[in-house]
Structure 1
Amino acid sequence: MKTTTLKPLGRGLLALAVALATQSSQAASDAEQIIQSNCLACHTQEGDQQWSRISHQRKTPEGWLMTIARMQVMHGLKISDEDRRTVVKYLADRQGLAPSETEGARYALERRLNTPEAFDSQMFTETCARCHSGARVLLQRRPASEWEHLVHFHLGQWPTTEFQALARDRDWLDLTLNKMVPELAESLPMDSRAWAQWQQQAVAPVQGDWTLAGHMPGKGAFHARMSVTPTEGEDQYALMLTGQYADGSELKGKGQAVVYTGYEWRANLEIDGQVMRQVFALKDGQLSGRMFLRDKDEVGADVVAARDAKGASSILAVQPAYIKAGTEAEITIVGTGLSGLPVLGTGVDVVEVISESPDLIRVRARAASNASGVMTPSVGVTEGGRFAIYDRIADVKVVPEFAVARIGGNGSSTPRVEARFEAEAWAAGPDGKDGTADDYRVGMMPATWSVAPFDDVAEADRDVHFTGRMNASTGVFTPAAAGPNPERRMMTNNAGNLKVQASVQDGAETHSAEGQMIVTVQRWNNPPIP
């Protein structure tokens, strides 16, 4: 019986392996033919599947997309959208980045627009990160000769580069070629151990059912189930997603996904009538990253997901991730393969299990009046997530502390770019003193929001009146319309400089916090990597 059971399974797996190998080979052949037919007018053949310039760079899928788009815009390349997708897939798989090589720069891929950048190299900051994000550079790899080509390209394409700020006060070209290029070649090399090792890794499976947990500023926490089904294309999948926000509203959609380089998950889904994009990284059977509106990427959610796998279990999130000492609350544990007794931590009793399934457990919990601290919850033998117990709020922070919103609309070609804020509560640690290193994060809490002039100039220019409106309950700021405003001094536009104010109520105490928001003009060029 054992033999007869394994034979069909073995044949099926062999057939699947052969089909995938054939599919992959065909896709590579198609991409190479497209390159041969479209790129050799400018690039030269250097060997079997080797071309000048093209074969001497490694980039993310977005990086390769930007390269081909630049060839179209600047050099008149004619290529169909389908052929462009084929070439991007081929180059990202063959000349991509290892997971460790994207760490610290994924905020650009995930469109985290308000991420402040800071780099150890002052020269890198002043040479590369003065015009675009430093992440755009960090997400590519080249040998020294190619970094040198890039310098010459910048100077040839933008001749005023040497006369701009942080360039005209120094011998820019000499410094860039003789100091910046060697630095880049050493820190971001074409050949690396990480990439060589990653190419030997087995590709993790993605088909099957996944559990997602996320948090969207202005909306709150959510959980969902996502089915992933292979389609005909290489590393391409059909998606079905169903879930719910913490406020009870439904989350439902479907779409398609592509996996590049064995771990770079990119998907487009239509959810509740809006197209959303997923930019995730696959690691150790989990996906993590951001899901955002395709045409309004400031509106998005942090997401972590785990795939159902036999014998595996995980806790992805606890929603909400805190409880106040001496109170009761309904708590949801989101994960996969959940089985056993739910435990939230010392000092917290689970008084009722409201509902339970392998991916979702709802409980009513009661925290002791003297409980406090950060706990690691568990379900049976599975531990994970984070759960905070606090007796009082010691401090509140506005997140992000600094943000940019952009005017738009009003007949212009670019829409308004909102700014979204949350109030992050902190509690005093074991020392009982506020504002010390022992303080611990509680989580995002409801707040009342407002804006005020940031300085005397903003007050004189009536920035609060002209720049837009803050939603007092959600923390979402919607900027005003684009274009000159006859009501403003000198008929200027609706830009401005504002304080962002949050007020959080904790019993009889009110805690306040401030951030800053610049409301500025449209960004006309918005590439995949800013």
Structure 2
Amino acid sequence: MKRVIRFGGAVAFLGLASTASAIDGPQIIKENCLLCHSETGNAEAPFSRISQQRKTPEGWQTTINRMKSQRGLSLKPEHERVLIKYLADHQGLAPAETADLRYVLERQPNVVEQNVPEHVAGTCTGCHSSARSGLQRRTTDEWQKLIHFHMGQVPTIEYLAGHRDRPWFQIALNETAVKMGEGYPLQTQAWSDWKAKPKAALNGQWAVSGFVPDKGEFTAVMSVMPNQKDNYITLINGHYADGSKLTGSGSATVFTGYEWRGAIVIDGRKMRQVFAASEDGKQMAGRMYLKNDEVMGGRVLAEKADKAATLVSVTPSSIKQGASQTLIIAGANLSNKVSLGNGVKVEKVISQSADRLVVQVKADAKAAIGQRTLSVGKQTLENAVAVYDQVARVEITPTESIARIGGNGGPIPKRKSTYRAVGYAAGADGKPGTEDDLSLGYLPATWSLKAFDEVAEHDNDLKYAGSIDAKGIFTPGDAGLNPERKMSTNNVGNLAVVGTVKDGANSVSGEAHLLVTVQDFVKELIQ
């Protein structure tokens, strides 16, 4: 089962302030939650219906939001932060338990979920993503109570689309909940191991590379200074790919020993960081996006860079036979001795700074095709740069996407979508589109739109649904009725996004599907 999912919503951001407080988590629960919950007398699971669950920081935030909106809970903001920190630290998820589902936490837009368990697809994904279920751990009894909660909260749930052809409640209670208890149990070896493992401090210098759609690739050094336990002050200085400077400052809180949540202002723009630190505390990876526009964000990689030379990434990640190419190498304390092996010559070092090394290289016309290891001094990065003969095909990412009309004087803004082109050379079999294809990474492209099908052509969707700019950012049309359209309908549409990569005298294009639809009224109203 495949579903196009857009994430975001009502969860308040968690990394904004220190968690220091004179009151601790258990005390907050005792003073605020025991009208409905009770103490069990079991030191390992002291509170009913609370101690039988594990969740991410966002999961606990959602639970508290529900208690506030539906059960009358009132918490001071500082106590709420302390409680979320306590619950996430003591009843969170281990790194291995979140690894495959981080797209929800990182608010990646336009994710097509794959390999959804059958019992989840038939019961849960009519209303929310499979990942929302997968980012919780409960006893079987708690999973069954969750089904009862759904029936009590949404009595018509059995009559929703996809539920009407089956005895939904009986299946959910007696089959799905049991399988969830087996697949996502409260007690796991991964969680036991993670609780026992010493947690690394994340202060120090970090070499960072990342991407923001309207700014492009960037490299930086992020200085992380301890404030209070698991709370940090951050400073970031670096460059975008065009050489313009990047500066910013902010703060971050670390939950569960590895869940980094940062709030940072970069060049006057408020941004959010959702990273996962490696178990040894030497790496972080995740996503950074604009506070008020989660679509406008991208992947970030970071390596601890205290004194030692650190190599993070290189862009672009391909070079054509016989061509010269400027490479931007992200890292810290790097040597200017660069090598990509036989057949690729470093012509000159263009510039070198704290966060990046810029070099011009040239590949021989007969340089061996394939992935190359990049060496910078004693540092190496495997499969860093591909040498290729020609671009055989282009894929546009995301392949399926949604944008939403908005604005035009209304309270709900437009929701954009962004695109990048990934190039491939034919592999050893000489046939593009097979497993042997050589990935060339992201390539510069020109962007255009066209009607997706005959209906879209007939309805003139291309004229009304929106436009795409030179950076691959699609802006949808205005909300509201349009008298120019048939029956004065709104500016929705069904489009194809076309990215075209120039390869010498040839041009290679790829396409992706874009559905321009109406506002997400429920999501916007509860934010």
Q: Settle same-fold status: TM greater than 0.5.
A: yes
**Which moves more between the two structures, 64-73 or 493-502?**
493-502
Tell me by how many angstroms 1:332 deviates.
2.0
Distance 1:439 1:319 in 2: 20
Q: State the 1:499 CA deviation.
A: 1.1
In structure 2, what is the equivalent of residue 332 of structure 1?
328
Q: Separation in 2 of the partners of 1:446 and 1:359?
A: 23
**Retained in 2: the 8 A contact 1:218–1:422?**
no
Shift of 1:496: 1.2
* Separation (CA, whole Å) in 2 of partners of 1:421 and 1:198: 37
Choose 426-435 or 201-210, whichever is displaced more.
426-435
- What's the counterpart of residue 6 of structure 1? none
* Residue pair 1:394, 1:426 contacting (<8 A) in 2 also: yes
SS of match in other structure, 1:45: coil
Is 1:37 aligned to 2:36, yes or no? no
Partner of 2:77: 81
The CA distance in 2 between the partners of 1:456 and 1:28, in whole Å, is 65
In the alignment, which residue of structure 2 is the partner of 1:455? 453
Aligned to 1:13: none
- Deviations 1:82-121 (CA, angstroms, capped at 9, x unpaired): 2211110110001000000001100011111111012352
Greater relative CO, 1 or 2 (CA 8 Å, sep 6+): 2
Change (3 A) 1:116 1:213: same
Q: Which amino acid aligns with 2:305?
A: D
Which AA in structure 2 matches 1:180?
T
Q: How many Å apart are 1:410 and its aligned residue?
A: 2.3
Could you tell me how far apart the structure 2 residues matched to 1:458 and 1:341 are? 54
C-alpha displacement of 1:441: 0.8
- Alignment correspondent of 1:19: none
Q: 2:414 aligns with which of 403, 413, 416?
A: 416
Per the TM alignment, residue 249 of structure 1 is displaced from its structure 2 partner at its CA by 2.3
Amino acid at match of 2:79: D
CA drift of 1:522 comes to 1.4
Q: Which residue of 2 aligns with 1:64?
A: 60
1:281 and 2:276 matched: yes
Going from structure 1 to structure 2, the CA distance change for 1:367 and 1:168 (only over 3 Å counts) comes to same
3-state SS of the aligned residue for 2:222? strand
Residues 45-82 of structure 1: CA deviation (Å, up to 9, x unaligned): 11357211111110000000000001111112111222
Deviation at 1:358, TM superposition (A): 6.6
Structure 2 CA distance for aligned equivalents of residues 101 and 325 of structure 1: 43
Q: How does 1:45-56 map to 2 (within 5 A)?
A: 45-47=39-41, 48=43, 50-56=46-52
Residue 368 of structure 1 pairs with residue 374 of structure 2: no
Asked if structure 1 preserves the Cα contact closer than 8 Å seen for 2:230 and 2:253, the reply is yes
Q: CA–CA distance in 1 between the matches of 2:294 and 2:93?
A: 24
Single out whichever of 66-75 and 496-505 deviates more from structure 2. Answer: 496-505
Match of 1:243 in 2: 238
Secondary structure in 1 aligned to 2:37?
coil
Contact 1:370 1:391 in 2 (8 A): no
Is 1:98 matched up with 2:103?
A: no
CA contact (8 A) 1:451 1:501 kept: yes
Contact 2:336 2:357 in 1 (8 A): no
The equivalent residue for 2:397 is 399
Spell out the pairing of 1:75-474 with structure 2 (5 A cutoff).
75-232=71-228, 234-283=229-278, 284=280, 285-309=282-306, 312-339=308-335, 341-356=337-352, 359-371=355-367, 372-385=369-382, 386-471=384-469, 473-474=470-471
Given that 1:314 and 1:384 are in contact with CA atoms closer than 8 Å, whether structure 2 keeps it comes out as: no
Contact 2:56 2:135 in 1 (8 A): yes
- CA distance in 2 between partners of 1:486 and 1:62 (Å): 43
1:499 aligns with 496
| SS at 2:148 equivalent | helix
Report the 3-state secondary structure (helix = DSSP H, G, I; strand = E; otherwise coil) of the residue aligned with 1:346: coil
Cα deviation for residue 339 of structure 1 reads: 3.7
Provide the secondary structure at the position in 2 that maps to 1:416: coil
User: Shift of residue 273 of structure 1?
Assistant: 1.6
CA contact (8 A) 1:215 1:222 kept: yes
Residue 419 (structure 1) shift = 0.9
Letter of the aligned partner of 2:289 in structure 1? F
State whether residues 396 and 499 of structure 2, in contact with CA within 8 Å, keep that contact through their aligned partners in structure 1.
yes
3-state DSSP of counterpart to 1:96: coil
The CA RMSD over aligned residues, in Å, is: 2.1
Structure 1 525/228 Cα, relative in aligned 2: closer, same or farther at 3 Å? farther
**Residue 377 of structure 1: how far off its partner (Å):** 0.8
With normalisation by structure 1, the TM-score equals: 0.91
Q: Secondary structure at the match of 2:156?
A: helix
> How far did residue 331 of structure 1 move?
1.4
Q: 1:227-249 deviations in whole A, cap 9, x for unaligned?
A: 111113x2111111111110122
Cα distance in 2, alignment partners of residues 249 and 416 from structure 1: 28
- Cα distance between partner residues in 2 of 1:218 and 1:357: 23
Distance in 2 separating the partners of 1:74 and 1:170: 30
Tell me the SS of whatever aligns to 1:281: strand
Cα distance between partner residues in 2 of 1:37 and 1:339: 57
User: Structure 2 vs 1, CA of residues 412 and 31 (structure 1 numbering), >3 Å: closer, same or farther?
Assistant: farther
SS of the aligned residue for 1:46 comes to coil
Q: CA deviation at 1:313?
A: 4.3
DSSP-derived class of the 1:517 partner:
strand
3-state DSSP of counterpart to 2:176: helix
> Residue type matched to 2:48 in 1?
S
Runs of at least 5 residues in structure 1 that lack an aligned partner in the other structure: 1-22
Whole-angstrom CA distance in 2 between matches of 1:106 and 1:171: 32
- Equivalence for 2:480: 483
Shift of 1:340: 6.7
Assess, with a 3 A threshold, how the Cα gap between structure 1 residues 259 and 448 changes in structure 2: closer, same or farther.
Answer: same
Match of 1:519 in 2: 516
**What SS does structure 2 have at the residue aligned with 1:377?**
strand
CA distance in 2: counterparts of 1:316 and 1:379, whole angstroms = 11
Q: Residue in 2 aligned with 1:4?
A: none
Structure 1 residue 211: Cα displacement: 0.9
Distance 1:353 1:365 in 2: 9
Provide Cα deviations, 1:161-181, integer angstroms capped at 9, x if missing partner: 001122111111111111101
3-state SS, counterpart of residue 516 of structure 1: strand
Q: Return the TM-score normalized by structure 2.
A: 0.91
Which runs of 5 or more structure 2 residues have no equivalent in the other structure?
1-17
SS in 2 for 1:55: coil
**Equivalent position amino acid for 2:360 in 1:** R
Aligned 8 A contact 1:307 1:336 in 2: no
Q: Which amino acid aligns with 2:426?
A: A
